[in-house]
Amino acid sequence: MAGARSAAAAPAPAPALEPVYVWDLVVRLSHWLIALSMIVLTFTGIDIASPFLTSAKTGFTHGYVRIIHMYAAIVFSLAVGVRLVWMFTGPRRSGWRQFVPASKSRLVALRDQILFYMLLRPHPPSCPGHNPLAGLSYVAVFGLYAIMILTGFALYSVSAYTSYMKAWDVLLPLFGGAQGARWLHHVTMWLLLVFAVSHIAFALLTSRSEKNGTLDSIFSGYKFLPRDRKAGDD
């Protein structure tokens, strides 16, 4: 009797997990270069827009802030460029299909993820890489990166002194001139900050609820997934 009671109280055995290599080195490095350069670009960009580091007595401070902005802009643009190329040349889990739901199984997983967020499904679909809704939202984020890079280079052309940097002035008419480019560059920064805050919040939430190492995975590359997951889940 006592034995039966203790058996009933025993917790269900935890599913056997295995480490799965999800994010390769290029994905992790470009992620961190983009994140770190964005912090520098935001800090220096806000000072360029409305100087808080500079005063009449601080000499060349604004010049240094601009130089740091430009070096960080080079890191940012290259990291975004490398990640875009990697989407078409890298391994499967870094590929564009992780972002655009182009297969039936990704479309079904996208629907299930939305149902999960609407509390109409008890569990999220099993996706070792990006969940399809997150992947789709990153398409919009890459669009914002493109706006930052194009408006940034257009703005640079105004004060550039080399012909290859002046050449970016062809972009200015697209934004209605330098003031339009400046406005778009500034507003898009705030959109990216909204994304950054929600991205960190969702990463923390998913890591806590799924308990599969989501947060660690962007450092180590590994998630911990059930050994018995379906073959199609990969």
DSSP for 111-169, please give it: HHHHHHHTTSSSS----SS--HHHHHHHHHHHHHHHHHHHHHHHHHHHH--SHHHHGGG
Q: Judge contact between 203 and 180, C-beta under 8 A.
A: no
| Residue among 78 and 108 whose Cβ is closer to ligand HEM | 78
CB-nearer residue toward ligand HEM: 15 or 143 = 143
Crossing angle between the packed helical segments 61-89 and 25-49, to the nearest 10 degrees: 150
Cβ closest to ligand HEM, residue 45 vs residue 132: 45
Please check whether residue 216 is in contact with residue 21, taking contact to mean a CB–CB distance below 8 angstroms. no
Residue 134 or 149 with smaller CB distance to ligand HEM: 149
CB nearer ligand HEM, residue 41 or residue 133? 41
Closest CA to 181 of 189, 193, 173: 173
Q: Which residues contact 131 (CB under 8 A, 6 or more apart)?
A: 109, 113, 124, 125
Least distance from ligand HEM to the Cβ atom of residue 209, Å: 29
Chain contacts with ligand HEM (rule: CB under 6 A)? 38, 41-42, 45-46, 48-49, 66, 69, 73, 76-77, 148-149, 152-153, 155-156, 182, 185-186, 189, 192
171, 189, 191: which is closest to 181 by C-alpha?
171
What H or E segment, with its residue span, contains residue 95?
none
Least separation, in Å, of the C-beta of 142 and ligand HEM?
12
Closer by beta carbon to ligand HEM, 43 or else 116: 43
Q: Around Cβ 197, how many Cβ atoms within 10 Å?
A: 10
The residue of the chain with the least Cβ separation from ligand HEM equals 152
Nearest approach, Cβ of residue 31 and ligand HEM (Å): 14
Least Å distance between CB 147 and ligand HEM?
10
Q: How far is the CB of 70 from ligand HEM (least distance, A)?
A: 6
- CB 157, min distance to ligand HEM, A: 8
Structure tokens at 22: 């999800």
